[in-house]
Amino acid sequence: MTNEIKDFLRIGEDEVDFMLCEIGGTVGDIEGLPFFEAIRQFIHERARGQSILMHLTLLPYLAASGELKTKPTQHSVKELQSIGLAPDVLVCRSEHPIPEKEREKIALFCNVRKEAVIPAYDLQTIYEAPLAYHARVSTRRCSTPSPSLRLRGRTSRAGPM
């Protein structure tokens, strides 16, 4: 099954500069295990610096104590690590601002750089998301401990940004 998933991921890979692959579901659910294993193998088969693993996680807010809880994020990262996946970037969903102290704590206990703990605040519509990320995140903030991605030598058709 994992080979079939990897074969699907490879379709058209020579025609693009990058690929974004989303695996939905909850880390630890048995239904997702073949997909997580396929991604682990897919990343392993590439040269170092050719893949970035991003993990979207929820930081719940407890109104009674007035604080964000980081333990669910730490637990989901631990689950990923237990199956051989180590996130480079954590995108943290939250309905409240994430204090620097909490970002530092998440980074320390999830083994990512603080700059790679990216807030993703709740928005009115999904269509606001690209603008919100563009306003908050530069490519430098997304840098990972591994070497920068080495894209194959192709020219962009998009033109200057």
Taking only the tens of pLDDT, the chain with its 161 residues reads 999 999 998 888 888 888 888 887 788 788 889 999 999 999 999 888 888 899 999 999 999 999 999 999 999 999 999 999 999 999 999 999 999 999 999 999 999 999 999 998 888 888 888 887 777 765 444 444 444 444 444 444 443 43
Q: What one-character DSSP code corresponds to residue 149?
A: P
pTM: 0.77
Upper half-sphere CA count for residue 2 (Cβ side, 13 Å): 12
Tokens of 23: 């695996």
Distance CA 24, CA 150 (A): 27
Residue position matching structure tokens 């890979």:
13
Nearest in space to 141 (alpha carbons), one of 106, 101, 102, 90: 90
